[in-house]
Amino acid sequence: MRPRRQDHRSRPAVPGTAARLNSASALTRRSFLTLGTSALALGVCGRAAAASPGVPFGAAIQSDHFDDETYRQLFLDHCDMIVPMNELKFGLLQWERGEFDFTRADMLVDFARENGRTSRGHTFVWHSTNPPWLETITDAREGEAVLVEHIERVADHFRGRLTEWDVVNEVISNDPTRDASGALRDTVWTRLLGPRHIPIAFQAAARADPGAALVVNDYGLEPEGEVAEAKRRVMLDLVRQLQDANIRVDAVGLQAHLYAHFRVDVEGLGRFKEELERLGVGLTITELDVIDFQIHGGSRRQDRAAARVVSDLLDAVLAGPPPRALVTWGITDRHSWVDGSMPHADGTPSRPLPLDANDQPKAWYLDLRRRLTSAD
């Protein structure tokens, strides 16, 4: 494991980044410093213990299908890491204010542990899947107390059982080059607390689970084009600003919901990874799948297109030090969010995941496993 940098004060400023974060929701050095907190004790940056050699492979599991023994077995057959897809989200843990229900999340995390697998936590802060009561809060102090209490209670409950936490998810705006909210997405948390909800969340997580790696997770960082390039710049700026404020951030989570009709920016993503390495920050691929509604002509074409984008992603992320883990957002095409959200217009089933609807491995998945195994 590489040592993590502990003092970021000597890092030269990157020209232009501050100017890009110029909206009402911009991250400013001042917004972090107004926290009035001192340097935090740095926690352990642990790598997922892997049952197989190389980069640990994981997949997201859903409690909705947990009664299906065949489904459960797929995770044991294929995964080093088993990740609750939805059960650790705010609204699923604290639907009623102050009443925490860990039943479903515990079931999945314990299933992983009892079978010698690891798990990672997704997620404390997100704009989606929040309980209605959260949206009614208008007082900043009350909002901060709710945020800190939620993170402390949840991180404490799972302490020692999760290798990583997505502390914040999708805080970068959908299109930082155009969105009115600027660099950051307009959410319940920015409306209540502004950009400082991010360092507040990281500090609470670091206090509550010093052993878990703390991750900033986002989507749309992989493709070619100016929007993804802007998102990568904002992500790097966010990481630097957290480090400048002596706030621990261990890794960036690359969701990698890849569109089969887009190209992965192998060079741009490679440069992004190198910059993270210079900052002493790791990379986890957190939600890989392939969105193929624009690929017509049958399953072989869909799988060929998927193989190309996945291979390009691997070219970028396996160059240099290996990522901490690679997680797919589900394991079998029988259960994926993709057909619900981005279906083929003619009803053709999507093929987003490692195993097809008959639970048979696709060629791109076998290739991915070979490359992960030899990537250490």
Helix pair 266-278, 299-317: axis angle to 10 deg: 30
Instruction: Give residue number: closest CB to ligand G3I.
Output: 337
Binding-site string for ligand G3I from residue 203 to residue 222, where x marks contact by CB under 6 A and - marks none: ----------------x---
Name the residue type at position 251. Answer: A
Stretch near ligand G3I under the rule CB under 6 A, chosen from 13-21, 81-89, 94-102, 109-117: 81-89
Using CB under 6 A as the binding rule, whether residue 129 contacts ligand G3I is answered as yes
Please select the residue that binds ligand G3I; options are 25, 94, 130, 255, rule is CB under 6 A: 255
Residue 105 CB, nearest approach to ligand G3I (Å): 13
| Two tokens, residue 324 | 């901490």
The residues, ordered by sequence, that sit 6+ positions from 14 with a Cβ below 8 Å of its Cβ are 236, 237, 240
Cβ proximity to ligand G3I, 195 vs 220, nearer residue: 220
Please select the residue that binds ligand G3I; options are 34, 128, 174, 374, rule is CB under 6 A: 128
Q: Are 58 and 120 in contact (CB under 8 A)?
A: yes
Using CB under 6 A as the binding rule, whether residue 85 contacts ligand G3I is answered as yes
Cβ proximity to ligand G3I, 270 vs 349, nearer residue: 349
| Two tokens, residue 310 | 């996945």
Catalytic (active-site) positions: 170, 287
Restricting to residues 145-184, which ones interact with ligand G3I according to CB under 6 A?
Answer: 169
Residue 241 CB, nearest approach to ligand G3I (Å): 23
Cβ proximity to ligand G3I, 70 vs 129, nearer residue: 129
| Two tokens, residue 216 | 């900033």
d(CA 174, CA 171): 9
Cβ proximity to ligand G3I, 202 vs 219, nearer residue: 219
For the chain, the straight-line distance linking the first and the last C-alpha, in angstroms and rounded, comes to: 11
Enumerate the β-bridge partners of residue 264.
Answer: 223
Question: How many residues touch ligand G3I (CB under 6 A)?
Answer: 12
Residue 67 CB, nearest approach to ligand G3I (Å): 12
The residues, ordered by sequence, that sit 6+ positions from 86 with a Cβ below 8 Å of its Cβ are 62, 63, 92, 129
Please select the residue that binds ligand G3I; options are 287, 292, 312, 333, rule is CB under 6 A: 287
Using CB under 6 A as the binding rule, whether residue 250 contacts ligand G3I is answered as no
Q: Residue with structure tokens 């050095």? A: 29
Residue 234 CB, nearest approach to ligand G3I (Å): 17
CB count within 10 Å of CB 1 equals 10
Q: Residue with structure tokens 């991750």? A: 215
Restricting to residues 53-72, which ones interact with ligand G3I according to CB under 6 A?
Answer: 62, 64
Binding-site string for ligand G3I from residue 321 to residue 340, where x marks contact by CB under 6 A and - marks none: ----------------x---
CB count within 10 Å of CB 135 equals 11
Cβ proximity to ligand G3I, 106 vs 144, nearer residue: 106
Q: Residue with structure tokens 């691997």? A: 314
SS3 content of the chain, % helix, strand, coil (to 5): 40, 15, 45
Stretch near ligand G3I under the rule CB under 6 A, chosen from 13-21, 38-46, 82-90, 363-371: 82-90
**Residue in 239, 247, 256, 271 with CA at minimum distance from that of residue 325:** 256
Give contact residues for ligand G3I (rule: CB under 6 A).
Answer: 62, 64, 85-86, 89, 128-129, 169, 219, 255, 287, 337
